[in-house]
Structure 1
Amino acid sequence: MIFLDGDHLSLSQLRALLYNGERAGCSSESLQRVDESRKAVESIVAKGETVYGITTGFGKLSDVHIPSADVNQLQLNLIYSHACGLGDPFPPIVSKAMLLLRANALLKGFSGIRREVIERLILYANEDIIPVVPQQGSLGASGDLAPLAHLALPLLGEGEVFYQGKREKAILPLKERRIPPIQLTAKEGLALINGTQAMTAMGAVTYLEAEKLAYEADGISALTLEALRAITDAFDEHIHLARGYPEQIEVAKRLRKLLKGSSLTTKQGEVRVQDAYSIRCIPQVHGASWQALGYVKEKLEIEMNAATDNPLIFDGGTKVLSGGNFHGQPIALAMDFLSIAMAEFGSIAERRIERLVNPQLNDLPAFLSPQPGLQSGAMIMQYVAASLVSENKTLAHPASVDSIPSSANQEDHVSMGTIGSRHAYQITENVRRILAIEAICAMQGITFRGVHLLSPDTKQIYQAGRRIVQEMINDRIFSYDIERFTDWLKNEDVIEKIVLGLK
């Protein structure tokens, strides 16, 4: 079990909670902090003090005083009125991450929420009662209000959930499991929805998939290098140490390891003097994207352990301060950077695909076809990869440079971070398909060259890949092959382990 305390959740722990069946709990110290901040809220209500979000309205209505008798209804109204998200739901794994991240933020003890509400969030995550949360509708400031309102609805027995493979009314699994709906009290609705957990959850899931895909990009590019009889001098350690970027040095090191023992790669002057940039500059391009991944990881792990609601309660309730920690700008910028970094993995991969299929750029059969002319082979695979690359170029336009005022101009600058995180996820999905196409083409090129000439590491990748997609002997419906290989890259870690020397 992983105990959340509001301060120490890492991406590796989140991966275990989301993908490896690990269960979450609350640390005892964090629950003590939660109880203390809750007492402060109860004192404010009892005294009839005017404090934003507890005894006032919200946004532009913050100057409207709410009588103590109505503070519970105020919180319920907040959830109902803000649950107006639209569009397809976030993937269930993302909504599960939202539950965990919201619980972790509340466990910092600055939000004034009861411990039983936090425990209910964790119960839903542990039991896979996953709220259906529409993707569209957040401006990424004032928190992810609309998405998090939908996240909160099933706590009340409202809305919908994904449960045991079905999408259904939230009240049904609650009745089945004899879980009573929560009755919200003062401050709790606001504490549940005023935060950045939609963009951060989407960003964290995207990062975990992107990191895995980046290792797979290194492994698949090694197959291409052998299919094209690439010159390995470009990966010599001296070149990369001379520039000094650690990530570039590591990519070159991985390529040297992957290609060690190959009879297909060449030296300067044996076949040609230099390779094209998409071959020669893999360490520089992949390495730069790895730098971006490092930046994104750092920002996500800060945000995963951040108090992002408003107001925040300090010093046992002697300080209740309104601020702007709900503003998603740090994650918005990180997601835009992630989008660009992942788009570049796809862009350079598509250029390698072109070099594999274009008979003017290699000595392989045209379009890797066993019978060029009668059969088109991989011709249209390159078209598809090019289409995905162009789509990524539009998706990679920074979301964070946009803003639009809301709440009668009270909330006059917003981050669009949730849009940025959704775009980063779409780009990552597209890049996985591009890399699947590169792998299929590289394997076909190696089939012509001779599988026995591969290095030990790339032979493992080739053999594992061939169990997913067979050799092109005749033209067939290649979309099935691409999607099958894409699913394999997403759900299995064979290539990642080989690249890292773990298998």
Structure 2
Amino acid sequence: MTFHLGGDSALTVATLARIARENQPVAFSPAALERIKNGFSFLYQRIDAGDRIYGVTTGLGAGVDTAVLNGADRRQDSARLHAIQQRIPLARAVGVGPLADSVQVRAMMLARLAGIAEGYSGISLPSAQALLNLLNLGVHPQVPLLGSIGEADLAPLAHIGSALAGDGEAEYRGQVTDIRALARTLGFTLPALTGKDGLALVSSNAASVGLAALLLADIAQLVNVQAGAIALSFEAFRANISPLSSWASRIRRLPGGAECASHLLSLLAGGVLCQPGGARLLQDPLSFRCAASVLASVYQAFNLARQATELELNSADDNPALIAEAGMVLANANFDATHLALAFEALGLALARQASCAAERMMKLMSEGASGLPRFLTPHRGQTGFATLQKTISALTGDIVHQANPLSAITIPVADRVEDYASQAMAVISKTARLVESLRYLVAIELMVAAQAVDLRQDPQARLGQGSAAVYARVRGRVAVLDQDRSTARDIENLAKAITAPGWLNAGEQLLETECHALGSQTP
């Protein structure tokens, strides 16, 4: 199946993640091709008319007051236009630090292509097609991840744009090669940047947006897995499920509350907890009692972040925008990604609350006084059991909370203080990704701890819910019961890796979805 950008179907988080990870082919829809051609033609109409166009006939940033073309140049000197646009990505390829992996680069390129398909960038069709060719061929420019302040991801996108300008290296099938040599080997043509091509390639938040979409796909998987861990912890603690009652959601209409409570109940259905007398206590610790409410906050924050990301995936953030149908070259601030940054800040804070509750549930399960189970979940008095694992739990929770702290709204002004505000969207998404990495280990540990606690219940044969029983079986398929003291580091690593695979989840365990309603259907 080829996905057609700018056609009848919206580009969703799930679709972007699938294309980036599975190398699904992409093409411009016929409508997108027509829009791109019209935008480029309109650009040259305005150049010929003598309009001042930012980044085309003027300098960039603080250089907006400097004319770079004059009189006859606009109409006749295509070599000068080429030189101007060629320099734009080269001068902005200033990224440092770790390199994006191939999937991340693919996500960035796809997000930029989606914006180009809207038809307002003014890019030439050969340059747009060349970027599309890199994606479909699996040629991935080397992109350092540090350098964007979130008001257009100039630095990372410039490294992609520089590759199209014939400068730098790219990865292809695991090998890193000079882009010009790779073009000769594979037989693809690097474009001659002209018009507004250089600016169109770099003036976008596509790096932040592409990484955001990949991250949301990972978060959805992890939160869906964590819901199963919560259910298994409920089973192990013999928690009271009355807070999951539909009446609780009916008398307080918390957004996502009914969905999350119903989901947890579906995992517990058929087990002893759903029978009269199944709970040990009338009132459980809040990390159990509030599980559905906290999960609902994650549910709501996730959906807001997804909406913000998919808005960007299906919009134009070019400045200036070439609006042919209105005869307008529009200077704008569509590159501002504050809403995206704040959505991910909120999501990080919600995940930190979820992590705090998970850590406390594990501590309660390991406490003989709280759970009625052997201390530190060892069947042998005098052995360590999971006692020292509490330190790892504490360290992970501390790191998650640290990464959830919001970035400052104050940024050092740049471009001679013309650019005196920045959303820091890419930095926010990067720290949220680090948070998710620690959360992945924490979720794996809760699964392992809850499964051990289930095995140590006074009546280990007591029936689990159908959903929680399936989760328990999957955990035990990866991690053996902790009988004698042993290192559990490898168990945690194996389980943390296993839960990232799509096959870990059963059909009924999808609380968070990464698809939204499409505008139409794709054709093969």
Q: Could you tell me which of 260, 265, 270 is aligned with 1:261?
A: 270
| Cα drift, residue 21 of structure 1 | 4.4
Alignment CA distance shift 1:162-1:496 (3 Å)? farther
Query: Aligned partners of 2:130 and 2:367: how far apart in 1?
Result: 57
| Cα drift, residue 124 of structure 1 | 2.2
| Cα drift, residue 343 of structure 1 | 1.8
| Cα drift, residue 180 of structure 1 | 2.3
Relative to the length of structure 1, the TM-score reads 0.94
| Other-structure match for 1:467 | 477
Relative to the length of structure 2, the TM-score reads 0.90
| Cα drift, residue 162 of structure 1 | 3.1
Q: Could you tell me which of 33, 47, 62 is aligned with 1:31?
A: 33
Contact 1:216 1:496 in 2 (8 A): no
Query: Aligned partners of 1:146 and 1:102: how far apart in 2?
Result: 14
Alignment CA distance shift 1:323-1:205 (3 Å)? same
Query: Aligned partners of 1:153 and 1:162: how far apart in 2?
Result: 14
Is 348-357 or 157-166 further displaced after alignment?
157-166
| Cα drift, residue 49 of structure 1 | 3.9
Q: Could you tell me which of 38, 44, 49 is aligned with 1:42?
A: 44
| Other-structure match for 1:250 | 259
Alignment CA distance shift 1:360-1:94 (3 Å)? same
| Other-structure match for 2:147 | 137
| Cα drift, residue 269 of structure 1 | 9.0
Amino acid at match of 2:423: S
Query: Aligned partners of 1:437 and 1:287: how far apart in 2?
Result: 22
Contact 1:231 1:268 in 2 (8 A): no
Q: Could you tell me which of 451, 459, 478 is aligned with 1:443?
A: 451
Query: Aligned partners of 1:158 and 1:203: how far apart in 2?
Result: 27
Is 164-173 or 407-416 further displaced after alignment?
164-173
| Cα drift, residue 158 of structure 1 | 2.6
Deviations for 1:90-121, whole angstroms, at most 9, x for unmatched residues?
Answer: 34322211111101101111111112222222
Query: Aligned partners of 2:56 and 2:14: how far apart in 1?
Result: 36
Deviations for 1:128-182, whole angstroms, at most 9, x for unmatched residues?
Answer: 22222211111111x1110110122222343233322344443454333111222
| Other-structure match for 1:383 | 391
Is 322-331 or 218-227 further displaced after alignment?
322-331
Amino acid at match of 1:393: V
Q: Where in structure 2 are the equivalents of 1:25-104 lying within 5 Å? A: 25-46=27-48, 48-67=50-69, 68=73, 69=77, 70-104=80-114
| Cα drift, residue 190 of structure 1 | 0.5
| Other-structure match for 1:235 | 244
Query: Aligned partners of 1:478 and 1:186: how far apart in 2?
Result: 59
- 1:373 maps to 2:375: no
- 1:492 maps to 2:494: no
Query: Aligned partners of 2:363 and 2:423: how far apart in 1?
Result: 38
Deviations for 1:14-58, whole angstroms, at most 9, x for unmatched residues?
Answer: 233234443211110111111011112233444554311111110
Alignment CA distance shift 1:268-1:233 (3 Å)? farther
Query: Aligned partners of 1:451 and 1:15: how far apart in 2?
Result: 41
Query: Aligned partners of 2:144 and 2:381: how far apart in 1?
Result: 47
Alignment CA distance shift 1:246-1:338 (3 Å)? closer
Deviations for 1:322-378, whole angstroms, at most 9, x for unmatched residues?
Answer: 11111121211112112112222222111111112223322222212233433x222
Contact 1:139 1:416 in 2 (8 A): yes
Alignment CA distance shift 1:31-1:347 (3 Å)? same
Query: Aligned partners of 1:34 and 1:60: how far apart in 2?
Result: 28
Alignment CA distance shift 1:400-1:322 (3 Å)? farther
- 1:198 maps to 2:199: no
Amino acid at match of 1:29: A
Q: Could you tell me which of 387, 390, 393 is aligned with 2:401?
A: 393
| Other-structure match for 2:14 | 12
Amino acid at match of 2:254: Y
Q: Could you tell me which of 345, 361, 365 is aligned with 1:352?
A: 361
Contact 2:317 2:334 in 1 (8 A): yes
Contact 1:225 1:265 in 2 (8 A): no
RMSD: 2.2
- 1:121 maps to 2:123: no
Deviations for 1:220-248, whole angstroms, at most 9, x for unmatched residues?
Answer: 11011111111122211111221112411
| Cα drift, residue 123 of structure 1 | 2.3
Is 420-429 or 474-483 further displaced after alignment?
474-483
Q: Could you tell me which of 161, 167, 170 is aligned with 1:158?
A: 167
* Structure 1: runs of 5+ lacking an equivalent: none
Contact 1:400 1:417 in 2 (8 A): no
* Structure 2: runs of 5+ lacking an equivalent: 512-524
Aligned to 1:431, the other structure's residue is in SS state helix
Query: Aligned partners of 2:337 and 2:349: how far apart in 1?
Result: 18
Query: Aligned partners of 1:186 and 1:490: how far apart in 2?
Result: 44
Instruction: State the number of aligned residues.
Output: 500
Aligned to 2:456, the other structure's residue is in SS state helix
Contact 2:204 2:335 in 1 (8 A): yes
- 1:457 maps to 2:467: yes
Contact 1:110 1:314 in 2 (8 A): yes
Contact 2:498 2:504 in 1 (8 A): no
Contact 1:157 1:170 in 2 (8 A): yes
Amino acid at match of 1:95: V
- 1:2 maps to 2:22: no
Query: Aligned partners of 2:177 and 2:485: how far apart in 1?
Result: 42
Amino acid at match of 2:95: G
- 1:329 maps to 2:331: no
Aligned to 2:388, the other structure's residue is in SS state helix
Query: Aligned partners of 1:158 and 1:451: how far apart in 2?
Result: 65
Query: Aligned partners of 1:352 and 1:92: how far apart in 2?
Result: 38
Q: Percent identity?
A: 28
Alignment CA distance shift 1:301-1:270 (3 Å)? closer
Query: Aligned partners of 1:266 and 1:349: how far apart in 2?
Result: 25
Aligned to 1:490, the other structure's residue is in SS state coil
Query: Aligned partners of 1:47 and 1:421: how far apart in 2?
Result: 42
